[in-house]
Amino acid sequence: MVAQTQSRTYTLEEYRTLEEKADFRSEYHDGRIIPMSGGTINHNRIVRNLVSILDTASRQKSYEVFTSDLRLWIQRYLKGTYPDVMVIADKPVFNDNRTDEVLNPCLIMEVLSKSTEGYDRGDKFLYYRSIPEFKEYLLVSQSEYFIEHYRKTGEGQWLLQEYRGDEGEIALESVGVSLVIKDMYKGVDFELAQ
């Protein structure tokens, strides 16, 4: 007979305390703590490019750009995640008055990796859709020129537009900015993804 080990569940406060002291980030899923893996150089280049483009454009707009150092709390599902890039229109709304947990992104961008792309397209997107302010979702491949752009309509439907190749622009309606695909992939070496 094989002994079954019980995985421990943590309260939100226990998770927050551990996260404040941790050397690496973990997501919180309704009592479970899930360690996050590190990113590749292409992943980091794409995130850097996205933040740079959005940050430059934000000087004329009323939104703020955040990276994966800031936790997103998804109240409906009791989830704490760290999106690669998220944009908040106007002012951040903090969870429990904590300055390390926000509730209200209008735009979220995830750079896909082999280990997380199924989660990013599936359950994570489901969780994100429960956020009332959330209007657009960008999934960016780091191994080829391929982007999936989801946009929420006024009727609450999500529309998908795919972009393949290095030509073109992506209009982000939630923040009033267009992303040039070549600029998103500046410095990315697809040979490193093989």
Strands (E) located in the chain: 26-29, 32-35, 63-67, 71-74, 79-81, 85-89, 101-102, 107-112, 136-141, 146-152, 158-164, 169-172, 177-180
Closest by CA position to 108, among listed 148, 52, 75, 57: 148
- Give the model's pLDDT for residue 3: 41
**Residue pointed to by tokens 């509730």:** 103
Tens digits of pLDDT across the chain (194 residues): 334 434 789 999 999 999 999 888 899 998 999 888 778 999 999 999 999 999 998 888 899 999 999 999 999 999 999 999 999 998 999 999 999 999 999 999 999 988 889 999 999 999 999 999 999 999 999 999 999 999 999 999 999 999 999 999 999 999 999 999 999 999 999 998 65
DSSP structural state of residue 123: H
Burial class from Cβ neighbours inside 10 Å (0-12, 13-18, 19+) for residue 117 reads: middle
Question: What residue spans of 7-99 are helical by DSSP H?
Answer: 12-21, 41-58
What distance, in Å, lies between the first and last C-alpha atoms of the chain?
42
Domains and CATH numbers, the chain: 38-71+81-193 (3.90.1570.10)
